[in-house]
Amino acid sequence: MTLDDLGVPLGTRGAVRRVVSLVPSLTESLAECAPELLVGATDWCTHPAGLPVRRLGGTKNPALAAIADLRPDLVLANEEENRPADLEALRSAGVPVWVTRIRTLDEAFASLRRMLTVACGLPEPDWLAAAERAWRTPPVTAARRAVIPIWRKPWMVLGRDTFAGDLLRRLGVHNLYAGHPERYPKVSLPDLLAAGADLVVLPDEPYRFTAEDGPGFFPGTPAALVSGRHLTWYGPSLTEAREVLGTALG
């Protein structure tokens, strides 16, 4: 019996030839290996550019009837990005669903390997091995204490047990909210300013922080504007993420 990352059995219709992806990073991962398999993706699936597939709404509000009409052999999803009720509705309609669970870099490598080789029946891609080599260097000893906002209205930050937090840890950035009971806690700006950070890390997604909208809220604290795709996506971007993020962090 084939189980996804959550231990849910995968009921397939035989060979996988038609795939819908409901997660941008999973879309990019499959498109890098076998773009001909993709028949549908979300409006937020921006990589690779110009992907000629049917657009099916967002990660949180997918067009379920349209997905079922495409008769995919497999739908790719993620336990954090997609709502359980939507995935259960697809299963009830007879659509096989594979759900990933990724909260660390090591989990990303293992999960992507299983998704591509076990769920999709593809050979292991060269980019996955390249990504593992890129991150093989031992983690940098944490030297900077940081807050990492991911939203501004209201302010939200990375908390415990996140993929992005694990990448930053490996790059020598200690998340001051890594011990928070919530994964993405809401924290007031005065509390963020009082946290004692010597760095604020500002990604350009999910909230698009920019030089004009972000650093000015943290006067006197160095700010690093980073690529949200390289910080939060798991897939081919991991081959260059260490270098890209390391450069942005300084």
Instruction: State how far the Cα of 212 lies from the Cα of 210, in Å rounded to an integer.
Output: 5
Q: Give the residue among 90, 97, 82, 71 at the shortest CA–CA distance from 10.
A: 97
**How far is residue 138 CA from its own chain's centroid?**
22
- CA distances to 87, 108, 166 from 171, rounded to whole Å, are 35, 17, 9
Asked if the peptide bond before residue 154 counts as cis, ω within 30 degrees of 0, the response is yes
CATH number, span 139-249: 3.40.50.1980
pLDDT at position 68, please? 95
CATH (residue range 19-124) = 3.40.50.1980
| Domain range annotation of the chain | 19-124, 139-249
User: pLDDT tens digits for the chain (250 residues)?
Assistant: 889 999 999 876 689 999 999 999 999 999 999 999 999 999 999 999 999 999 999 999 999 999 999 999 999 999 999 999 999 999 999 999 999 999 999 999 999 999 999 999 999 999 999 999 999 988 777 689 999 999 999 999 999 999 999 999 999 999 999 999 999 999 999 999 999 999 999 999 999 999 999 999 999 999 999 999 999 999 999 999 999 999 999 8
DSSP label at 125?
A: P
Cβ pair 184, 158 in contact under 8 A: yes
pLDDT on residue 12: 65
Between the two ends of the chain, the Cα-to-Cα distance in Å is 47
* pLDDT of the residue at 210: 98
CA dist., res. 26 & res. 77, Å (int)? 8
What strands, in cross-sheet order, belong to the sheet with 97-100? 54-55, 38-41, 19-21, 74-78, 97-100
Helical (H) or strand (E) element with 144: strand 140-147
Q: What is the DSSP letter of 51?
A: -
Q: What is the DSSP string of 168-224?
A: HHHEEEEETTTT-SSSS-B--HHHHHTS--SEEEEESSSS---SSSSGGGSTTS-EE
User: 215: cis peptide before it, omega within 30°?
Assistant: no
Output the pLDDT for position 250.
87
